[in-house]
A = this chain, B = another copy of it.
Amino acid sequence: MKEECGIFGICSSKRVAHDIRLGLFELQHRGQESCGIATSDGDNIYCQTRMGHVLGSMTDGVIKELPGCLGIGHVRYSTAGGSKIKNAQPFAVETKYGPVSVAHNGTITNAEELKRQLSQEGALFQSDSDTEVVLHLIARSKQSTLVKAIKEALPKLTGAYCLLFLTKDSIIAARDPLGMRPLVIGKLPRNQGFVFASEECAFRHCNAKFIGKVSHGELVVATLGGLERQQFAPATKSCHLCVFEKVYFARPGDEQYTSRFQSGIQLAKEYSYLKADIVIGVPDSGVIAALGFAEQSGIPFRLGLTRNHYTGRSFIEPTQAKRGIAVDLKLSPINVVIKGKVVIVIDDSQVRGTTGKKIVRMLKKAGAKKVYLLLACPPILHPCYHGVDIPNRNSLIAVGRNYQEIAKKIGAEVVGYLSIPGLLEACGESEEVEHCTGCMNGNNYDLVQITQ
């Protein structure tokens, strides 16, 4: 399943490029293909993008080229086709409102349609990225200021997105009206400014304190003077955060840890009839759910699978045929833990079933007596209406198969999934946050939004 991009921004009273680098480093799990930083020194915007990992490509030499106290950064995931430096973000453009740079996480579902329309009106498209559409809408606005132009442009978009704009003297953050992608706000110590990030974990190195989330449909303008917050679209009753942010995309910050631990507890309740010698997790996120499961069930938690830290950019081509090898390189079983045991193994989710099959085989080879594979997530049955790259239905293992059939295909004695209510309970569903589970139940919240 498609990973997401990560975005990060700081508005400070000190040079920011190094802190953006460290922030992006903490968001690296959201995208490893390319990275980039744009900064402003009040007069000009500087922008550097590179293919590859933050630590390898954003060297001290690159950081030196990025002066200024305001800046945004981006780490990008992409499918093979779009893997080019020209698609790396932030984008930096010149508009009538002055220089603007933008970093984007999410998918604009009506990008193609808007592109066609803008093209007819004379817009030039230079990348394959849907982010460029946003810039064109803004550039073509008749509004007197950039903020007004952004407010005019964003309601024309559908899909899930978070955006950070950099101008010469401000950072402007925006989150889609459904709130499907996360965007959090931090405050630097000693009133030195503000920080935005896809995930709170990115606040560590600049010592920012979490002070809230950008609301759904909200625009937040950060300058050294402070934050100005306004709605660019009527907020729906509640935010519809993509449930995968908690289950899969995000690194275990507090919320994610809690959700994942709770999902393990829920799984243990729903599968309380399963008896096993040990419970293990698939690193990294399955481990947290496994701890919750162990806590609730009393079955001892063990470290049965370890993760290799040196996979990085691999010599293995990313074709489906070779995906099995990637799993083999990434994970190793500890035989002495597994051998002769009835093992419950918990993974965060299951899409095609390729990884699951491989893990079951690995555990059996390590001597497991029986393997019960539990997923801390309900079956994926539908495409994502908001742009997450879920494969064709034919490739989804849960489509057209009951759990026994899946277990047979995977080679496990039992396969079980968390129920949707169980997941929502674990994720802390509330009046304010109602998670999007469209890929599990087929609900399309864009329709909800339009008909509201």
Residues of A that sit less than 8 Å from B by CB: 21-22, 25-26, 28-29, 32, 53-56, 58-60, 85-86, 91-96, 115, 119-126, 132, 135-136, 139-141, 201, 204-205, 251-255, 257-258, 284, 287-288, 291, 295, 300-303, 306-315, 328-329, 332, 334-337
Contacts and interface: CB of A to CB of B under 8 A. Distances in A.
8 contacts: A25-B310, A56-B315, A93-B124, A94-B115, A205-B328, A252-B334, A254-B335, A301-B301
Given A96-B122, A303-B288, A313 B56 contact: yes
Question: Which residue, of A92, A254, A310, A328, has the highest number of chain B Cβ atoms within 10 A?
Answer: A310
B254 A25 contact: no
Number of copies: 4
A308 B54 CA distance: 13
A204 B53 contact: no
Contacts of A258: 336
Contacts of A21: 315
B312 A312 contact: yes
B124 A124 contact: yes
A229 to B, nearest CB: 25
Given A205-B328, A309-B307, A334-B252, A291 B287 contact: no
Contacts of A314: 55
Contacts of A141: 122
Nearest to A122: B140
Given A124-B95, A125-B93, A303-B257, A55 B311 contact: yes
Given A25-B310, A55-B315, A308-B25, A94 B124 contact: yes
A346 to B, nearest CB: 13
Contact of A332 (B26, B59, B122): B26
Given A25-B329, A55-B310, A123-B123, 19 more contacts: A32-B310, A55-B311, A55-B314, A55-B315, A56-B312, A58-B315, A59-B315, A92-B126, A94-B119, A95-B119, A96-B119, A96-B121, A122-B139, A123-B124, A124-B135, A253-B334, A254-B335, A255-B336, A310-B312
Nearest to A310: B28
A121 B140 CA distance: 7
Nearest to A93: B124
Nearest to A288: B303
